Structure 1
Amino acid sequence: MSVPKYVKRKLDLDDIQKFALMKFRRNVSDILQPHHDDHFLCRWLIARSWNCENAEKMLRDSMKWRQEYGVDTELKTWEAPEVIKKYEPVGCCGYDADGAPVIIVPFAGLDVVGMLHSVPKEDLIKATIQILERNLDLAFATGYNELIVIFDMDNFNLRQYLWRPAAEVVITLIQMYEANYPEILKVCYIINAPRVFAVGFNIVKKFMGPCTINKIKIYKHDPAKWKKILVEKIGADNLPKYFGGNLTDPDGNPRLTTKIAQGGKIPESYYMKNLQKDDPENEKEYTIVTIKKGDKLKLKFEVDEEGSFLRWDFRTDNHDIRFGVNYTDKEDKVTTAVALNRVSAHQIDEAGVLACQSPATYTVIFDNSYSLLRSKKLFYKVYVTPPIKELSVTPTDGDISLFKEEDKKPSEKIMDADALNELEAKEMTNGMEKAVISPVH
């Protein structure tokens, strides 16, 4: 893609920030490279609230990480496996008026379970680094040094992320981004966000810094609204027609698939091994019970570790059933976590996850008390899994090592009020707060 010429963005710093920048440049002069200009240095200072010592530690750690991964050497010529090239959903469609590259990610096209069956986890990380570096090169060439990212969540299904390895790799990539690519984001638009997205975001935002969270704008499935905003902020000539712009493929495809890879379901012919069989969580057998007419099944789980997850997967034969979850805290106060509602589990398997408080006793309820004529046959897996800790990525021979970061605390800051308004939180959570029931397609 040819890069248009733009006027390089000027830094607008006050005297205190100018002094911090000068001091920071002097302190890290031994590791700087020729292309590390003031814009580059300010990224690290902003990420650490203009604290020179903290910014220096962050930059030195990142430079060491780049060396370990060969980001500026071997990784530049590394060839990603075919399956990643064919099924990684991402592409650049143009630039906004300031020169920020516009990156589009059709997120539902990411078959993360299939990807983890097909390539080592480290290859997926390397490919993500390559994508980030390639797009940053575009941003550096225009002089703006920041990216616009559009995540299209149309047809997003939470269920594959209930598989722990999939959730862990997503969190690992987020942490890698936060630690090594501060302040490269101009704005992130998340469009077509379904109700279940609020639950997933509630979990992953704990691993994001406040600077990132504040740049995220979320819109539900309302094309008239988000198309208008995208065109106003980016321009129709730099957006695919599907996103409200003028760009199409030669055959008229509005998604601009010649530039934006769409991803898709990965054929099992690419699979190296069945990772789900190696995962103890997926070895759990379904429990089969018959809930008599007018009766209920209650399952109790003691949760002692903060951040644990209650997970469920169930179906019924022929008829629906009521499902809900509540918890009792140490003061014996009972709180509804998932409102008791009838679920058509005889039509589509139901799966969900709940981020738990502790200490507490969680009660999962399958309720057939409303049925005076029919008993219900239920197939279920309900279990508690431990918290997903903060993970750090270090390249090793053939895989990655994951270890807890003791000196970092995930940000607890929620996204800004405008973003929450776009989600229409009351409607999207539907009384379920931190939980979701996701149909299996």
Structure 2
Amino acid sequence: LSTALDRLEATSQLQSRLSSLSFSSFPGVTAKQCDNTCYADGWSECYLAQMPPLNPPTTWTSAAVKELKVKLRTEKDSMVTVYRGDIMTVHVPTVPEANKVCWEFATDGYDIGFGIYFDWTPVTSRSITVHISESSDDEDEEEELEGPVGNGDVEKGSKTHTNSNLSEILPVYRQDSHLSVQGGSHEFPGEGTYLLKFDNSYSLWRNKTLYYRVYYSA
């Protein structure tokens, strides 16, 4: 019993010491009022890093689908297959020689999901890399109808990102990339890595042929 009482007293003293600390005690942290919302790991929401807001991307479309496909067929790794149920993520780090990332893409026959995120983690490699992941959606779920869709049709395959360093620039939406070239650009918000997601996770049967290019602009 005495051991339990000693632990309770020590815990009470620690909580008292923590409550006396202010944000001004830590360099680089601005003091502000906050509520007592806490998370499973015990951290108050005020202690969670606040990512600065990001400007929306500049986007455009073009009817020159055939021209883009002809050009990209001759470029290495610019024509790929995104298999049914898969998500292809292109990781594009920021570079000091440029201030903007640009993209263009089109598909054969059917639409594909597309979205952009920004990872604020400091850049350790300047290589553009591609990662493929499988959808965790229930395989017994019916496939969505494919074809022309409205801008409000959010990808069923979109995932909730738990990485606290990740900010959303453009949520994943199905794009009519089989009808027109989908392009855009975004100015660097700082150092980090862009994640361009080509999402075919909603499709249970159809692979998608994707033509794309990503490049920098000053």
User: Where on the TM-score scale, by shorter chain, does this alignment land: which range?
Assistant: 0.3 to 0.5
More strand by share: 2
More helix by share: 1
So what's the TM-score if we normalise by structure 2?
Answer: 0.45
